[in-house]
Structure 1
Amino acid sequence: MHYLKKLKLTTAGFGLVATLSATGVAAETLNYAIGFPPGGAATDGIKEFNELLSAEGDVKLKVFELSLLNLKETAPGVRDGLADAGYVITAYYPAEFSEINLPAEMSMLTNIGTPPKSSGAVMAGVITEYAMLHCLDCQAQFKRENQVFLGAMGTSEYVSLCTSPIRAAEDLKGKKMRSSIAAMGRWAESFGGTKVSLPANDIYEAMSQGVVDCAMISAPELGNLQLFDVTKYITLNAPGGSFSGVGALNVNLDTWHDMSAEDRARLIAMAPYNTSYVTVNYSDNAATDLEKATEMGVEIIEAPQALRDATEAFVTQDIELIKTNFANDYGLQNVDEKVEIIIALIEKWKGLTDGIYNDKDALAQVYAAEIFSKVAPDTYYMD
C-alpha cells in the first residue's frame, strides 16, 4: 500500500479516501465536484476520462454531478477541501484568478484572421500551456487558493441563445445579454446591449422570467443547463470565441501534497485526456444540440457578414482595453509581454489542432507532448 490518508472532516462529510483493492494495492479515490447535471458535454467527458483513469492505474475519481457543489461553489469548495478536486470556473472569481483569466478573456481573438476548426481545442491548448509552462504568476494564484491546476478545456464557439431574434447588429440594441466573459459583455454593449452577469446555473430562471433576453454561451449548454425550453432563437457567430476559463481538473493543494509521487505522476500523465475529452464533447454536442433545437422549433440564425465584420473590428480594438483593465483593476505586471505570449500561443495552437480537433485521443496526445510531458511531478506545485 502506498499510503493511507485520513478521511478529511468537511461539512459535506466527503474527502479523499484510500481503499484496498483486490490486488492489495491502495486505490486512491478523489471526490470530484462538477456543478453541471448528468448527461452533458462536461459531465460525460469527465466520466469518459475517469473510466480511462481507473482502468490504467490506482487513481480514480468519484464524480459528484451538481450534488456536492454548484458551479460557483466549486472553487472555494476545492480550496477548503469540501472536494478533493473539481471543475473550477475561474471567471466567477476575477480577482483571485486574474492571471489565468487574462488568456480566457482573449478567446475572441481565435476568429481573427483564419478561423480555426475549433476555437475550443485551440483555447484549451493555449490556456493549459500558458498556465502550466509560461505563467508562474498563474501558479502562484492557484496556490493562494489552495489548488493545483491540471488543465483547461474549451467550449464550442459562443452563440447567442435568445427569447427574441438577433438578425442584425441593430437587434442587439436594448437586449439584456448574459455574459460570463467581460470582453463579450463589452461586445454586447458596443452595439447598445446591456451586459448581465450571473452564474450559469441561474440562466434558465433568468431567461424564463425575462431578466435576460439572451445568453451568450456555447450551444451544448442547451442540454447541460436545460435551456431548450426557454430558447426561441439562436444566432451563430455572435459573439464567437470560446469559454475556456476553467480548471477542468483542479486538485486541492493539501490533497496533492499528501499523494505519492507515483499518483501525482499518474494524474499529470492522464490529465490531457480530461482536457481533450471535455473539449471534443463540446464540439460534438454543439452540432447535436443545434439539430435538436431546430427539431424543437428554435430558429437558427447565421450572423450577417456586417455583424461579423463589426465583431472583428471590436475584438481588434478591445485588446488594448483588456491590457489596461487587467493592469489597473487586478494589478497584473508585464501585461504587454503576457499578451504577446498568449497571441503567439493562439497561432501555435491553431496549427497544432487543425485536422485533429475532433479526435479525442490524437488531441490528447498533442496536449501531452506539448505540455504535460514537460511537467515534473516531483516539483509541480510542491514548493
Structure 2
Amino acid sequence: MNLKKALAIGIFMGVAGQATAETTLRVASWLPPTHPQNAVVWPTWSKWVEEATEGRVKVAVEYGMGHPKTMFEIVEDGVADASFSYHGYVPGRFKLTQVVEQPLLGVNAEAASVAHWKIHQKYFTQANEHEGLEVIGLFTHGPGQIHLADPVSSLADLKGKKIRLGGGIQGEIGHRMGVTAVGAPAPKVYEMMQQGVIDGVFIPMGEQKSLRLKEVAKNVIALPGGMYLGSFSMFMNPDFLADLDPKDREAILNVSGEKLSAMAGKAWDAGDAEGLAAAQEAGVNITMVKDGDALSTEFANLAKGMDENFYAAAADRKVDGKAALSELREIARSYK
C-alpha cells in the first residue's frame, strides 16, 4: 500500500468515526425513578432526541447529584448537561415564573405548561432570569392541594400547623393562612410526615402515589383547580449545545420548547390521576371541594390581591405583569 492510499484510508476512517460517534447528554434528576418526570418525561424526550439526531446524541439520566435548588448551578457549571427544577426553591432569582402559579387559574398542568412557555417566550426572556442556562421547556405540576395527617373543617384550622412549603406562591398562601412554614425538598416529605416533623404539605395529588403520601397523609382537601400551580423549568448547558454539530443542536431544540412543555405537563396530569386513584384505594379521606362550597369561598377570599403582588414583582423586572398574566390565563383556559 502506497503512502497516498494509506492517507486516503486514514482520512476516510477518521471521517467515518466522527459520523458514527455518539454524544451522551447527561441529565441530573432529583426525584425518584418512579416519578412521572423520570418514568415518562425524560424517557420520551430522550427518544425524541435520539430519533431527531439519528442516534448521534443519547440521553442518560443520573440520580443523587444534589438538592433540587442546586440543579441550576450544576448545569451551568457543566457538572451535568441538563436538568430541571422548581423555581420556588430559589427565592429571589425567579419572580416572573410565578405568573403561572397564581391562584384560581382553573386548568390542568398541560394547558398551564403550554401557556407558561408561550408567555415566557413573549414577555420574559429579556429579563434573563435563567442566565447561564438554555431553557428547553417550562411546565407546571398539577393543582396544589392540602395533604394532612389530621382532618380540618376549614382553612382557618390550618393556622399554626407545621406545613412543608416548597416556595413560590405557595409560600404566600401559607403566610396568609398563618401556617408555620417548613422548608424541605419534596422527596423528604414522606419521612417528615412519618416522624411527625410536619402536620401536612401543600403539593399536587400525584405525590399521594409517587412519594407514598397515601401512607402518612391520610386527609386531603382538594380545592377546585387547586390552590396554585408549581412552576418548573427544564434547561441545558449552553456550552454543551454549542459544542454539538449545528444540525444536532437544532434537532434537539426542535423537539423541546412548547412540545416538551406540553408533554411534561400532560405526564404530571396523568400522575395526578394515578395519585388520586392510589389515595382512594388506600382509604385516604379526600374532601372534594366544589365551586361555591364554604372552603372554596374561603380560599377565594384569601387569594384576593395576589395578582397585584405579581404585577409589582414583574415591574421590578421591567415587564408588564398585568398583560402577561391576562394573556397567560387566556391561552391556558382556551387550550384544547
Q: TM-score range by the shorter chain?
A: 0.7 to 0.9
The equivalences for 1:261-340 within 5 A come to 261-271=246-256, 272-303=258-289, 305-324=293-312, 326=313, 332-335=316-319, 337-340=320-323
Aligned-residue identity in percent: 22
- The Cα offsets for residues 187-241 of structure 1, whole Å up to 9 and x where unpaired, read as 2333333333322122222222222211111111233333232211111017815
Tell me the TM-score normalized by structure 2: 0.84
What is the CA distance between 1:163 and its match in structure 2?
0.6
**Is the contact between residue 105 and residue 225 of structure 2 (CA under 8 Å) also seen in structure 1?**
no
Distance in structure 2 (CA, Å) of the matches to 1:21 and 1:309:
67
What is the CA distance between 1:83 and its match in structure 2?
0.3
State whether structure 2 residue 118 is matched by structure 1 residue 121: no
Selected match of 1:211 from 176, 197, 202: 197
215-224 vs 190-199, which deviates more? 190-199
CA RMSD of aligned residues (A): 2.6
Higher relative contact order (CA 8 A, sep 6+): 2
Distance in structure 2 (CA, Å) of the matches to 1:241 and 1:275:
21
Counterpart residue number, 1:251: 236
Counterpart residue number, 1:31: 26
**Is the contact between residue 219 and residue 286 of structure 2 (CA under 8 Å) also seen in structure 1?**
yes
State whether structure 2 residue 335 is matched by structure 1 residue 349: no
What is the CA distance between 1:129 and its match in structure 2?
1.5
**Is the contact between residue 194 and residue 216 of structure 2 (CA under 8 Å) also seen in structure 1?**
yes
**Is the contact between residue 160 and residue 239 of structure 1 (CA under 8 Å) also seen in structure 2?**
no
Selected match of 1:172 from 158, 163, 181: 158
What is the CA distance between 1:22 and its match in structure 2?
9.2
Distance in structure 2 (CA, Å) of the matches to 1:73 and 1:31:
16
Counterpart residue number, 1:46: 42
**Is the contact between residue 176 and residue 195 of structure 1 (CA under 8 Å) also seen in structure 2?**
yes
Selected match of 1:148 from 112, 119, 134: 134
**Is the contact between residue 155 and residue 242 of structure 1 (CA under 8 Å) also seen in structure 2?**
no
**Aligned in 2, Cα 1:69/1:197: closer, same or farther, shift over 3 Å?**
closer
**Aligned in 2, Cα 1:130/1:53: closer, same or farther, shift over 3 Å?**
same
Distance in structure 1 (CA, Å) of the matches to 2:86 and 2:177:
27
**Is the contact between residue 168 and residue 303 of structure 1 (CA under 8 Å) also seen in structure 2?**
no
**Is the contact between residue 90 and residue 247 of structure 1 (CA under 8 Å) also seen in structure 2?**
yes
Tell me the TM-score normalized by structure 1: 0.75
**Is the contact between residue 141 and residue 231 of structure 2 (CA under 8 Å) also seen in structure 1?**
no
Distance in structure 2 (CA, Å) of the matches to 1:130 and 1:190:
27
SS at match of 1:73: helix
What is the CA distance between 1:346 and its match in structure 2?
1.7
**Is the contact between residue 161 and residue 235 of structure 1 (CA under 8 Å) also seen in structure 2?**
yes
**Is the contact between residue 220 and residue 289 of structure 1 (CA under 8 Å) also seen in structure 2?**
yes
The AA in structure 2 aligned to 1:179 is L
What is the CA distance between 1:323 and its match in structure 2?
3.4
State whether structure 2 residue 64 is matched by structure 1 residue 67: yes
Counterpart residue number, 2:213: 227
**Is the contact between residue 179 and residue 185 of structure 1 (CA under 8 Å) also seen in structure 2?**
yes
The AA in structure 2 aligned to 1:128 is W
Distance in structure 1 (CA, Å) of the matches to 2:225 and 2:174:
8
Aligned residues: 316
What is the CA distance between 1:183 and its match in structure 2?
2.8
What is the CA distance between 1:32 and its match in structure 2?
0.5
5+ long unaligned stretches in structure 1: 1-19, 355-383
What is the CA distance between 1:164 and its match in structure 2?
0.9
**Is the contact between residue 28 and residue 65 of structure 2 (CA under 8 Å) also seen in structure 1?**
yes
Distance in structure 1 (CA, Å) of the matches to 2:220 and 2:249:
43
